[in-house]
Amino acid sequence: MDTSGATPDIGCSTPASLSNGVAAAVRPSPEYSSSTQGASCNETEDPDTFNARCPPPFDAQELQCLPDPLPTLFVSQLCAQLAALVRDLPDDGVDSQALVLQRIIETIRVDGYRSCHYFKDKSPDELHAILQHDEAFSNAIRVLFGKNFFKFAQFVILILRHVCRRPPSNRSRKVQFAQEPQVIDANDMLEDAAPESASASASSSRVYPPFVLDDAAQLPNPFDIVIMTKLTVLTYQRARKLGAEVDDDVRIAQFLFDLLQEEGLVTSPSVSGVDAAILRDCVRRDTGFSESLRGLLGPDIKAFHFTKRLFLIIRYMWYSLLN
């Protein structure tokens, strides 16, 4: 499973893989044809009617410059659901893509947000026609069937921006935007903490605060939306396979610690002196921390509950253990 890749720039600068077009990352859709006539998007009809009924083309470069319309917690929950969904679909063809798109739109609606009117109340056949008409959009959804979770998270964000974009002709009521989450630059925090790292590492008597649910709920997410989403998807995949062994709470904590190291967000030991052995001791000593970690494990946990609990654990580990 490919977990490599630096944090992408989600501003107006476009990564090479996107500036070259979505098709550069995936093969063309075999069902796609520029002359395909869909139930919703028929290029032979009157241009005004056509533009009113069909979404604008999926343009990755343009979408890079749009704000994120939904909060990080929602995006990470959705990614965990989609990662499970695509494993159960027979292939990555347009029929399967339409089911993925329908799940995205339905999840947005159920959670109290709104997609733009182009996608509202569309049937699977209508979504199928939209994807057949827009090859770039089809290819973007096909990325979600791959095993590169860096691109998975990146393209889910672009797809959500596309599905929730404000139409130029009616910008006032077509989409409900959530407040932007507070984001802390991990690199800045590491630099700020550096002067204290030597004394922290040298202190073997440091007492690490216990995991308190209410305290963690008051903390901001320490990383941007792409990192939080990637951590969620990869940890969800791992946690579903654990839960039967006594030390699986330690294993999932170590897995998360290893992911943070792979992303270059922490070192081992961390600036606070935490390494694998100390992390294991923290889990075994803190019943609340251990029980929360165990709440992530097993194949039956719902993505919504998993993500909410994982975010609290990430916040606690970052602010209370690792810095």
Can you tell me the distance from the alpha carbon of 321 to that of 210, in angstroms, rounded to the nearest whole number? 9
Does residue 2 sit in helix, strand or coil? strand
Name the DSSP class of 145: G
pLDDT value at residue 267: 82
Q: Average pLDDT of 18-38? A: 39
Quickly list DSSP for 254-265.
Answer: HHHHHHHHHTTS
Q: Residue 32 pLDDT more than 90? A: no
pLDDT at 117 over 80: no
Reported as a single tens digit per residue, the pLDDT across 192-213 is 544 444 443 444 456 788 899 8
Cβ neighbours of 268 (radius 10 Å): 12
What pLDDT was estimated at residue 39?
A: 39
Place of tokens 């550069």: 24
What mean pLDDT comes out for the span 21-31?
40
On the 0-12 / 13-18 / 19+ scale of CB atoms within 10 A, 317 is buried
Q: Determine what percent of the chain falls in helix, strand and coil, rounding each to the nearest 5.
A: 55, 0, 45
The proportion of the chain whose per-residue pLDDT surpasses 70, expressed as a percent, equals 71
pLDDT (0 to 100) of residue 208: 83
Q: State the average pLDDT over residues 236-243.
A: 88
What is residue 318's DSSP assignment? I
Number of Cβ within 10 Å of residue 179's Cβ equals: 6
Residue 271 pLDDT? 81
- The pLDDT of 118-135, averaged and rounded, is 86
Asked if the model's pLDDT at residue 152 lies above 80, the reply is yes
Whether 25 has a pLDDT exceeding 60, the answer reads no
For residue 197, what pLDDT is reported?
Answer: 43
Provide the pLDDT for residue 296.
92
Select the more confidently predicted residue: 317 or 169: 317
pLDDT of residue 3: 46
Structure confidence at residue 28 (pLDDT): 38
Residue 1 reports pLDDT greater than 70: no
User: Taking 60 as the threshold, does the pLDDT of residue 286 lie above it?
Assistant: yes
Q: What is the mean pLDDT of residues 221-249?
A: 89
Average pLDDT for 158-166: 86
Q: Per-residue pLDDT tens for 44-102?
A: 444 444 445 677 889 888 888 888 888 888 888 888 889 889 988 988 889 999 999 99
pLDDT band of residue 118 (cuts 50, 70, 90) is: confident
Any idea what DSSP says for residue 211? Answer: P
